[in-house]
Amino acid sequence: MAFEKKYKQLINNIKEAYFEVDLEGNFTFMNISFTQMTGYSFDEMMRKNYRQLMDEENKIKIFEIFNSVYKSGLPQEYFQFEGIKKGNTKIIIETSIYLNKDTSGKKIGFYGISRDITQRFNLEHKLKQSEEKYRHLFKSSPYAIWIMDLNGVLIDCNATTNMLLSKYTREDIIGKNFVEILGMLERPEYFIPFFKSKFESFVQDKPMKALEFKMTRSDGIEKWINMRGSKIKMGDETLIQVIIQDITGKKKADLKLQRSEEELKILNKELEKKVQERTKELRESERILKQQNIELKELDRLKSDFISIAAHDLKTPLISVGGYIDLILLREKGLNEEVKEDLNRVLNNVRRLERYINRLLDVMKIEAKKVELVKREENIYHIIDACLSDLEFQIGQKELTINLDISENLTLSIDHFRISQALLNLLSNAVKFTPKNGKLDISIVEEEKSVLFKIKDNGKGLTPVEIQKIFGKFVTIEQGVDGYSTLDKGSGLGLYITKGFIEAHGGKIWVESKGRDLGAEFSFILPKQ
């Protein structure tokens, strides 16, 4: 008993977890380290079977080991399994199991030494994962990766090297010094001394920048290569990692871009030359245009002066002629009817010519944007009524119906003479091109900031071509319907002058017609001021 007590004290003092079980797997003894490893007390462990410390898979595994030790009598050492400690925490245990016999040699159970290797196992597992990840990256990298020792011997490389060297595979070059490998390329007499010098400097811890060079493979294909080297630690050993990138595509693109830039520079120079030539031509054209513009302005001034002088000089004798004819008709009471009729015809033509001259003067003012307006508050109804009175004879001849939709109290700040002239032009045209027994609708719509005038007839109408040019100078439409006409046969200036007077008031005029014989509607807007 003293020996057994001393034996158990010795077992309790060792760091390894020691245990004993009977042939059924029930714990019969364990040291303090074992209880610390499992988390259970000695008494708790003495009531347990080994199966209670593991899952089903590990139960089968341990049973087979116990069975093997029992049958062979040989120990099973340093095997690993997953156990469950108190609190349902999983741990990795490394165990050696031996057969236990009594003094007579009878098999009475098993004993073993265990240790908790969970931390070491996890570290090894992470290291294995890291190695697998690195190995995957190493194998699948699009770059050729070489691992060499400090003597320049190739220890390993990935399969990308095969594509780089063509007919030589990784198996052909592993174990060879890089000098031998360079000898497989074209121009080894250039590459070997160059890379030997770089390698020796690099081994001596001198920095090596990335290298770019062109090589020719064994099959004659040229490749551009980018090479970078770095030192790495693998365990206690310092190795050299070389990453080799095929940059042929990039180099070709760079060269193509360089050629394109050179071509672009040439094109830019040619374009610059053409621009200079064209600029010179444009400057000359500009000089000529300026000179022509000066000449045109002078011609325009002369034309305006001529028309102004001619109109003034024509009006002066016309006034005299008209005055003398009026005087003759008043003074000479005994003139026969034929002479009176001739004198009245002369007087009518004098007045007609005077109207033409006045219209020419209005056109000149419109074109020079010098239409002078004398604005006052005017009753619009009275102005339109006066215009209709002037056309009473023509309206009566055609027996036209006039529909007025105008407020008798509407007033606007306008130039009475100019707006009266514009309205008279529009109304006389409407009468002229409306058939007998036709009708005219005259309306005014008062809006927030403006007044809309509309003069609609059911007469001859306008074609799209006529609408486009109706407000131009010297534009005349065919003779009015039914042989009727206005006071004169038309100078082609009436609507041009009308447009000018309305725009001088800040307004806008337009015409709409659905086509020939479908009537027309002239509309214009004048702003409220």
Residue whose token pair is 């041009």: 496
Residues in Cβ contact with 233 at an 8 Å cutoff, skipping those fewer than 6 apart:
239
Instruction: Name the CATH architecture for the domain at 141-246.
Output: 2-Layer Sandwich (3.30)
What are the pLDDT digits (tens) for 433-473? 999 999 999 999 999 899 999 999 999 999 999 999 999 88
SS3 content of the chain, % helix, strand, coil (to 5): 50, 25, 25
The set of residues, in sequence order, having a beta carbon less than 8 Å from that of 502 and lying 6+ positions away, is 422, 508, 509, 524, 526
Q: pLDDT, tens digit, for every residue of 365-406?
A: 777 677 788 899 999 999 999 999 999 999 999 999 999 999
Q: What is the mean pLDDT of residues 96-111?
A: 93
pTM of this prediction? Answer: 0.41
Q: Look up tokens 């008209």; give the residue.
A: 322
Check for a shared fold between 2-123 and 141-246: yes
Q: What is the mean pLDDT of residues 94-106?
A: 92
Chain centroid offset of residue 261 CA: 27
Q: Are 95 and 79 in contact (CB under 8 A)?
A: yes
pLDDT at 55: 94
Cα–Cα dist 398/309, whole Å? 40
What is residue 432's predicted lDDT score, i.e. its pLDDT?
A: 92
The dihedrals phi and psi of 5, each to the nearest 5 degrees, come to: -65, -45
What is the pairing mode between strands 401-405 and 439-446? parallel
pLDDT tens by residue, 144-194 = 888 889 898 988 888 777 766 667 777 888 888 988 888 777 777 888 888
Strand order in the sheet with 144-148: 154-157, 144-148, 237-246, 222-234, 211-216
The whole-angstrom separation of Cα 185 and Cα 227 is 16
DSSP string, 432-500: HTSPTT-EEEEEEEE-SSEEEEEEEESSS---HHHHHHTTSTT--PPPPGGG---SSS--S-HHHHHHH
Which residue stretches of 142-227 are H helix?
160-165, 170-173, 178-182, 188-203
Residue type present at position 94 = E
How large is the average pLDDT for residues 306-326? 65
Q: What is the CATH T-level fold of the domain 372-527, as seen in this structure?
A: Heat Shock Protein 90 (3.30.565)
Sequence-separated (6 or more) residues with CB below 8 Å from residue 420: 383, 386, 387
CATH class belonging to 2-123: alpha beta
Query: Can you give the residue ranges of every domain in the chain?
Result: 2-123, 141-246, 255-370, 372-527
Alpha carbon 257 to chain centroid, angstroms: 26
**CA separation for the pair 192, 199 (Å, rounded):** 10
